[in-house]
Amino acid sequence: MTVASPWLIPEHVGTGRLRAHAVDHDDRLNLNGRWDFQLLPTPESPIGAEWTTLTVPGAWTMQGIGDTPIYTNVTMPFDGPPPRVPPANPTGVYRRSFELPAQWASHRVVLNVGAAESTLLVSVNGHRIGTSSGSRLAAEFDLTGALRPGPNELILTVVKWSAASYLEDQDQWWHGGITRDVYLYATGDTYIADLTAVADYDADTAGGSLELTVQVDGRLDPGHRIEVRVAGTTVGAEVPVRQARELPSAAGLPPELDDVDLFGLHSATIAGQPMAPGLRPLADALLARLFPGPAGLVTVRAELPDVRPWTAETPVRYEVVVNLRGPDDTIIETVTQRVGFRRVAISDGNLLVNGQRIWIHGVNRHEFHPRTGRTLTRADLERELAVLKRHNINAIRTAHYPPQPEFLDLTDEYGFYVFDEADIECHDYAATLCGDARYLPAFVDRAARMVLRDKNHPSVIAWSLGNESGYGPNHDAAAGWIRSADPTRPLHYEGAIARDWHAGHSATDIVCPMYPTPEALRIYARHPHTRRPLIMSEYQHAMGNSNGSLDAYWEAIRSEPYLQGGFIWELWDHGLDPDGDGRYRYGGDFGEAVHDGEFCIDGLLFPDGTPHPAMREVRHIFGPLSVTDTTDLLDGRLTLRNERTFADLGDLAVTVAVATEAGTGPERTVAMPALAPGEKGVVELPTATSADLIGAGTVALHLYVRTATDTVWAAAGTELDVRQVVVRPQQTSYPAAPSANPVLDLDDVGLLRHPLLTTPPKLCVWRAPTDNDLSRFVRGRLLRTGLDTVTRTCDQVARTDTTATIAARYLTAGGAEIGHTQRITLLDDGVLRFDELVTVPEKIAELPRVGIELQLTPGFERVIWFGDGPHENYPDRRAAALLGRWDAAVDEMPVPYLRPQENGGRGSVSWLCLRGAHQVALAFDQPMQISVGRNTIEDLRSHRHVWELPHRETTVVHCDIAHRGLGSASVGPDVLPEFRVGPGIFAWRWHLALGQEALS
């Protein structure tokens, strides 16, 4: 049965499609590869004679066939209202032929199309087989009747725009085509159609139980049996052949029913071995007979007293082998299912796993690949999940649709808590579609098929109804379906609480707001109506140089009830690189008429998978252990706490090293006490380390936490965190070597002249706006001040041979005047001392920085600094930064955010040296925020992509007495008040040694 033009019909979800299920059939024929392809301008256009070829899976928009990607956030890429579909509607026709393997001759053959965007039509050998919509779930069709010996021709037609596109308005690229695997599988005419494994764990008794429901379909004869093996034990039960309605309603059962186990319960037996202790059929034979299940449905239950539980920290899984035996006892089919025993519950306002309140150290994760669009290999998934594990991330929201199936196999194996999200986002029509009954079938279909597919994954601990779709009856319908079908997991839906955090109970069990402030979390936690756990569905918008104050969120979360964490938005920068030339693109780069520019470049990972520096902060704040008491540090003792929920720290190796201004000393191993989850314990530092600590020049103790054993996600020795204890305040040292060129030379406007300077040390009050600075909430205050164009006027220069006092004014485009007095003194050793006095008037409410900028001639290649490092850090993102002496290439200092902006900062710097043929040293009497790079603020401001920046050999140095934090205001709160820079008087002293002989 097919429907004409299903892409036009909002009620359409599929025709001829098989029911979704959780069983994987191994007997497969892979149809991935090169397919014949043609792109039609509309679905109604006739198929032409010209075919090209295309790779399946893979979006056609990434394969140079003329239809290119479009990036929009909220806005639909075509005019509505729903269900209107634009007349120009790219339609891909995929064709290939296949022959059935000889051994499939009398088999039932099913086609699985993993994902097609957005409406799929299937025909085989000229027969119309069926249709499906929903771009992120597989569609399956029984092809058996349409197949023949020899070559068979399969045509998959994929219509890009449909009535269903309105439900797929996620903030990501619009692509077209088949983006997941395509394959055939075969079964016998009696087969296992589905499997539901509820593997429960009771933390009080430390026992597990398994309830396995097997749906057998096809020809059902008396005598078919299901046999289940788990944890070394086998349980068997007969498959009922009758429907419930066939049973007599009168008292008494016909004698033959005594032979039929209707629930598969009372005949549960242990095959071939004595019943294991604790494994017993939980049958009530009488009940089973009174309420028989439908034909083909077998439920087997077993209690397993000694299972080890599954958690994200201890992802222990067991293999369940299910055999379907024929009446003659031969095995017809074997299905293997991995299970993890665990219990998810909400109790007293806490989300519990195995009875414990857990932390959600989460990220939102889209399916993204810079070359294919969103088609990922298993190796891609492994790499991605390994990066997350290595950064102590333990939770993933599958924003905003169910992931490809293998992903959840890996999250089960690696250990993650997953919030599995239905493919529903009608953002542009959020106010209406959630209540539009024409879309009701699609809401329920998308939610139900996700649950049916993913119900057996221990990693999935909550179902999400989708994203940014308002809240209406269609949500409650989907919620009702899920609650009834799977009472073992809570529901998550942000729309239900968007207006009122205490509302929306029918659609969400978790209060899951987006982008609240840390303060709002505290208010919720203390509110008298609070009953539900709060897990932020999105926070910490990672766009560009961002993620300020992650620590402030976690201070609130760890100190208040009900708060359990959240999912950072988001994992990937969605920069596309169809040509593989490293020139990553964002919205507008494909000539889209309507687009949202760089807003898709908002991840913790660059498009190539390299972590942003913010990932260091993430890793640190989610780290497995903390230092809780340092009182006895100088006696060689520290108190550590195991920050995990389930596991001890036996899998970690801890070493310590002492940081001084001269560098970091040797690492020495710490003998760790056995610490149970949450437990504190005292560690004794190695004697030699204790001795170093009290030695001269010590500034900090660094504590390295690494894996001690190989895991699937990291080799032994992988660093998971570095903790720091600052031992004594930084001292300012003064550049030791004398300056080679001891003159104080000024130009006629009072600026220093020196052969190594291309730009003299000048006041700088501007930074290349970060994405957060450009947010509409911030830009008014920060950018409208006109600080980006200041004009310097030199009022007075008073000088002697060795001193100069320069009074200057900086007039902003906004009409405000900043006063700057610079007093330069040439010291006996040739070093220049600067005394700076900057007066920022009240008229300038906020500014990005106050500091000195200078630029050095070409030839400086290395930078050594003493301060926070080694990675980029800012005043509100420095929890993971380590005080020490760091050394890097100048070219490694900048961070290549795809849209150029302020970057590469390092805080708490007392001194830095730039080295090449010469050495230039700067030392500060107060710790400064610095940056060192090749490009000027104007370079960064005026280019749209990092790969367009001019290549320069000069070195630009900034040293700021005050520098604004980063915040996350591109979506979310601005920089917290304590990290903003406002008007006032700024006074500091620093030294500059220009042109020293290069030191080794």
Q: What is the binding site for ligand IPT (CB under 6 A)? A: 73, 171, 467-468, 514-515, 538, 541, 569, 602, 971
Q: From the candidates 367, 384, 538, 643, give the one annotated as an active-site residue.
A: 538
In the bound state with ligand IPT, the residue whose beta carbon lies nearer, of 470 and 750, is: 470
DSSP 428: G
515/622 with CB nearer ligand IPT: 515
Residue 140 Cβ, how far from ligand IPT at the closest point, in Å?
A: 29
- 745 C-beta neighbours (distance < 10 Å), count: 12
Partnered with residue 654 across adjacent β-strands are 705
CB closer to ligand IPT out of 239 and 536: 536
Q: Tell me if 170 sits within 8 A of 467, measured CB to CB.
A: yes
Give the C-alpha separation, 820 to 798, whole Å. 14
* Contacts of residue 934, Cβ cutoff 8 Å, sequence gap at least 6: 890, 891, 894, 951, 952, 953, 954, 955, 956
Which amino acid belongs to residue 58?
A: G
Alpha-carbon distances, residue 210 vs 228, 775, 886 (angstroms):
11, 51, 55
Rounded to a whole number of angstroms, the minimum distance from the CB of residue 768 to ligand IPT is: 21
Identify whether the C-beta of residue 957 lies closer than 8 Å to the C-beta of residue 922: yes
Contact 430, 395 (CB under 8 A): no
Enclosing H/E stretch for 379:
helix 378-390
DSSP single-letter state for residue 598: G
- Using alpha carbons, list the distances in angstroms from residue 501 to 360, 480, 514, 541, 564: 19, 20, 11, 21, 15
When the beta carbons of 467 and 929 are compared against ligand IPT, the nearer one is: 467
Partners of 56 in beta bridges: 33
Q: What are the DSSP calls for 384-425, one per residue?
A: HHHHHHHTT--EEE-TTS---HHHHHHHHHHT-EEEEE-S-B
Is 468 catalytic? The answer is yes
In this complex, which beta carbon is closest to ligand IPT, that of residue 194 or of residue 538?
Answer: 538
- In the sheet that 233-238 helps form, which strands lie side by side, from edge to edge? 269-270, 233-238, 225-230, 318-325, 331-339
Q: Compare residues 556 and 969 and give the one whose CB is closer to ligand IPT.
A: 969
Pair 537, 397: CB distance under 8 Å: yes
Q: Which residues, other chains included, contact 544 with Cβ-Cβ below 8 Å and sequence gap of 6+?
A: 601, 602, 770, 771, 772, 897, 899, 901, 970
Smallest separation (angstroms) from ligand IPT to the CB of 400: 6
Cβ nearer to ligand IPT, comparing 569 with 810: 569
Which of 168, 468, 643, 853 is an active site residue?
A: 468
Min CB(117)–ligand IPT separation in Å: 17
Write out the two tokens for 307: 């299972």
The distance of closest approach from Cβ of residue 773 to ligand IPT in the complex, given in angstroms and rounded to an integer, is 16
* Residue 909 near residue 925, CB atoms below 8 Å: no
Contacts with 225 (C-beta within 8 Å, 6 or more apart), sequence order = 236, 237, 238, 239, 324, 325, 329
- Closest approach, Cβ 467 to ligand IPT, in A, equals 5
Parallel/antiparallel/unpaired status of strands 52-56 and 33-40 = antiparallel
Cα–Cα dist 668/670, whole Å: 7
Nearest residue relative to ligand IPT (C-beta): 171
Residue 912 or 966 having the CB closest to ligand IPT? 966
What is the DSSP-derived secondary structure letter of residue 429?
A: G
- Closer residue to ligand IPT, CB minimum distance, 384 or 602: 602
Answer yes or no: 719 catalytic.
no
Closest contact distance (angstroms) between CB of 599 and ligand IPT is 6
209-248 in b/e form (b: 16+ CB < 10 A) is: bbebbbbbbbeeeeebbbbbbbbebbbbbbbbbbeeeebe
Residues recognised as catalytic = 468, 538
